[in-house]
């Protein structure tokens, strides 16, 4: 896997799409596949800002956590066993612990997300992530995820 990924590369890796694809670039993926640094550019044209909050737009904490999880998914995908097709599996949250929000995130901010793989246990990956704006911690959390086969797509019945 390359050391950095642009948005097209990320879309090849992750199943998420607008408005739920929440990382824009991977600037670093360690050789050991245990650390990732990703960027999320926060812009006013994102749909959550029409209601959260119109006079003082703030990125919802749950979306910050999701952006951190998507960054960690890049590590998880790179660590899949060679016999597992990443296109045929999905990662699901199994737990979020110690989530903390230290500052608000607003349009114009750039989240720099650092994700770390800690260990695999009972078929789950355990990660921790920190999202920073201008070098200051905006949010942090420990996360567990498990991969499962993706649901099979069925063709619509012919009439």
How much is the pLDDT for 46?
96
Domain ranges of the chain: 3-149
Model confidence band, residue 149 (pLDDT cutoffs 50, 70, 90): confident
In this prediction, residues 149-158 reach a mean pLDDT of 68
pTM over 0.75: yes
Structure tokens at 83: 């016999």
Kind plus residue range of the DSSP H or E element containing 8: helix 7-13
| pLDDT tens by residue, 55-93 | 999 999 999 999 999 999 999 999 998 888 888 888 999
Q: What angle do CA 41, 16, 83 make, to 5 degrees?
A: 120
Ramachandran class of 134: left when φ > 0, alpha when ψ lies in -120 to 50, beta otherwise = left
Query: Strands (DSSP E) along the chain, which ranges?
Result: 25-29, 35-41, 89-101, 110-121, 124-133, 136-149
Q: Shortest CA distance to 137 belongs to which of 119, 106, 113?
A: 113
Sign of CA dihedral 31, 119, 78, 114: negative
Active site residues: 52
pLDDT digits (tens, 9 = 90+) for 101-112: 999 999 999 999
CATH 4.10.320.10 fits 3-149, yes or no: no
The answer to whether residue 155 scores a pLDDT higher than 60 is no
Mean per-residue pLDDT over the chain, rounded: 93
Q: What is the mean pLDDT of residues 41-53?
A: 95
DSSP 68-99: HHHHHHHHHHHTS-TTS-GGGEEEEEEEEEEE
């Amino acid at each position: 896997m390359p050391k950095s990924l642009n948005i097209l590369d990320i879309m090849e890796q992750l199943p998420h799409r607008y408005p739920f694809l929440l990382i824009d670039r991977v600037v670093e993926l360690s050789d050991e596949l245990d650390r990732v640094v990703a960027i999320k550019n926060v812009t006013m044209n994102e749909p959550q800002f029409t209601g959260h909050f119109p006079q003082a737009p703030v990125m919802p904490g749950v979306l910050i956590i999701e952006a951190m999880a998507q960054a960690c998914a890049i590590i998880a995908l790179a660590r899949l066993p060679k016999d597992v097709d990443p296109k045929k599996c999905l990662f699901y949250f199994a737990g979020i612990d110690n989530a903390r929000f230290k500052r608000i995130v607003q349009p114009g901010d750039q989240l720099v997300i650092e994700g770390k793989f800690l260990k695999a246990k009972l078929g789950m990956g355990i990660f921790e992530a920190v999202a920073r704006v201008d070098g200051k911690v905006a949010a942090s959390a420990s996360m567990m995820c498990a991969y499962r086969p993706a649901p099979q797509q069925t063709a619509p019945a012919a009439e």
